[in-house]
Amino acid sequence: MLKFDIEKKNGLARVGIIHTPHGDIKTPAFVGAATRATVKALTMKEMNELGSQAILSNTYHLILRPGIKLIEKAGGLAEFCSWHKPTFTDSGGFQIFSLPDVKITEDGVKFKSHIDGAKFEITPESSMQAQWAIGADIHMAFDHLAKSENYEDMEEAMRRTHAWLDRCVKEHEKQEKTYLKAGKPEQYLYAVVQGGTFNDLRAKSAKYCAKKDVDGFGIGGVFVADGMDEMLKTVCPLLPENKPRHLLGMGQEPIDLFVGAEFGCDTFDCVGPTRMARNGSLYTLDGRINIKNAKYKEDFTPLMVDCDCECCKNYTKAYLHHLFKTDEITAKVLASIHNEHFVVAVVDKIRESILNDTFNDYKESFLKRYYHK
Ligand SMILES: [Zn+2]
C-alpha cells in the first residue's frame, strides 16, 4: 500500500507526505504536466530548480510515441526523461474520448491515432500493462469519460468506469506480482471518481471507489470550477482519509487550487499554466497579464518583484515583451519557468498556511488581490 502520512488536518484540508519509490511528495502539491514525457519548453533541471516535486505523463500519448516498449527498454519513464523524482501517469482516457472516431464497447475502446491513423485498442487490462511498463510510481485506472454533460451519459460513463476499475485492480495485482518478482520497484494504482456535475453520481462513484483495493483516488471529469467546492464536499468525506487524492486536470485558475486543497485534495495537475505561458499570458499576484501588450515595451521592472524564479530574478518585462514580439524560443522558456513556478509556489504556500493555521487569511488576501474583488 502507498504510504501517505497526514501531518495536519483542518476541516477537509490536510497536509501530508506521499512516499513513493522515487522520493516523497509533500502535499498539497502541484504536479507538472509532462504529457509526452516532457514539460513543454522546460528541461527537467529547470523543473527541479523551480521547485516541482513530481510530474504526470499521459499513457495515450506515450503508447503512440515513442511506444511503451521503448520506454521500458530505457529503464522506465523517470530514467528516460531524467526526472529522478516521483512520477504519475494518467490512463489516457481523457485524450482517447476526445478523438473523433472512437468506438466504445464494454471491453474497451478502439480508436485511430491522431498522428497517422493507425488503429489502436485500449482495454482496462492493456492500460494497466502499459502503465506498469512505463513505470510511473502512481497510475490512474482506465476510466470512461462521458460524451456529454447530460445525466444519462454521465451515469453510463460512471457505470462503465466502475466495471473497468474492477478489471484494472485485477490486472494491476497481476502485473505487480510479475514486476516485483523481477526485482522492480512497487507501483501504485488510483481509482478515478466520475460523475461530472451531478453530486448524487459523484457520491455513488466515491462510495464505489472507496471500497476497492487501491492506493489513492483521482477525481476526474471536472471541466468547470463552478460547483467544484460542493462536489469535493460530497466526494472527499466518502473516501478513506488515509489515502491520497489527486484532482485531475485542474489548476489553471489559482482559485481552483485553493478550493481543491480546502476541500481535501492532495495533488493537482494541469497543462494550463505552461500552455498560457507559451501564449504570453503570465501570472502575477495582481492577476494574469498579456506580456505582448504594448504597455510593457519599456517596462524595465521584473514580471513579479517578489518571485524568485529564474525569469523574475534576471529579466525585465520589456525583455520578455521583446522576446514574444520577435517570436524567440526563449520567450516560451522563461514564461513557462515563471508560470509553472507560480502555481507550484502557490500550492507550497497553501501547505505552509494550513500548517500555520493561516489558510483562510492567505486564501482571502491572495484571491482578493488576484481577482480584484
Ligand atoms: Zn517568476
The 10s digit of each residue's pLDDT in 198-207 is 999 999 999 9
Preceding omega of 66 cis (within 30 degrees of 0): yes
- Scanning the structure block, which residue is given the C-alpha cell 517578489? 306
The pLDDT value given to residue 96: 87
Taking residues 236-259, what's their average pLDDT?
Answer: 97
Using the mean position of ligand 1's atoms as its centre, give its distance from the Cα of residue 147 in Å.
38
Give every CB contact of residue 126 below 8 A, 6+ residues apart in sequence.
108
Residue 98 and residue 111 in contact, taking contact as beta carbons nearer than 8 Å: no
Crossing angle of helices 254-262 and 228-235, in 10° steps, is 30
329-351 tens-digit pLDDT: 999 999 999 999 999 999 999 99
Set of cell numbers at residue 201: 453520481
Bridge partner residues of 140 (DSSP): 190
| 98 band by pLDDT with thresholds 50, 70 and 90 | confident
The model's confidence at residue 221, banded by pLDDT at 50, 70 and 90, is confident
Q: Which protein residues have their CB within 5 A of the ion that is ligand 1? A: 307, 309, 311-312, 338
Ligand 1 centroid distance, CA of 345 (Å): 10
The total of other beta-carbon atoms located within 10 Å of residue 213's CB is 11
What is the average pLDDT across 284-290? 98
Question: What pLDDT sits at residue 58?
Answer: 96
Active site residue 90: yes
Among the ranges given (138-147, 166-175, 230-239, 360-369), the one the predictor scored with the smallest mean pLDDT? 138-147
Ligand 1 centroid – CA 342 distance (Å): 7
**What's residue 76's pLDDT?**
97
Q: Per-residue confidence at 115, pLDDT binned at 50, 70, 90? A: confident
With bands split at pLDDT 50, 70 and 90, how would you rate the model's confidence at 360?
very high
Distance 20 CA to ligand 1 centre (A): 29
Whole-number average pLDDT of the chain: 96
Ligand 1 centroid to residue 257 C-alpha, Å: 18
Neighbour tally for 8: CB within 10 Å = 13
Report the DSSP beta bridge partners of residue 6.
Answer: 16
CA of 273 to the centre of ligand 1 (A): 12
Position 21 pLDDT exceeds 80: yes
- What is the arithmetic mean of pLDDT over 32-59? 98
pLDDT at 226: 86
Whole-number Å distance between alpha carbons of 63 and 41: 22
d(CA 359, CA 203): 27
Identify the pLDDT of residue 95: 82
pLDDT for the residue numbered 329 = 98
Answer yes or no: is pLDDT of 251 > 80. Answer: yes
Output the nine-digit C-alpha cell for 368. 482578493
Round to whole Å and give the CA distance between 240 and 308: 37
Cell readout for 160 is 462503465
Cross-strand pairs, 110: 103, 121
Distance of CA 361 to the CA centre of its chain: 26
Distance in Å, CA 289 to ligand 1 centroid: 13
Span from the CA of 312 to the centroid of ligand 1 (angstroms)? 4
The single residue of 5, 24, 90, 308 carrying the catalytic annotation is: 90
**Going edge to edge, which strands form the sheet with 13-20?**
3-10, 13-20, 23-27
Looking at 137, 269, 306, 348, which residue is catalytic?
269
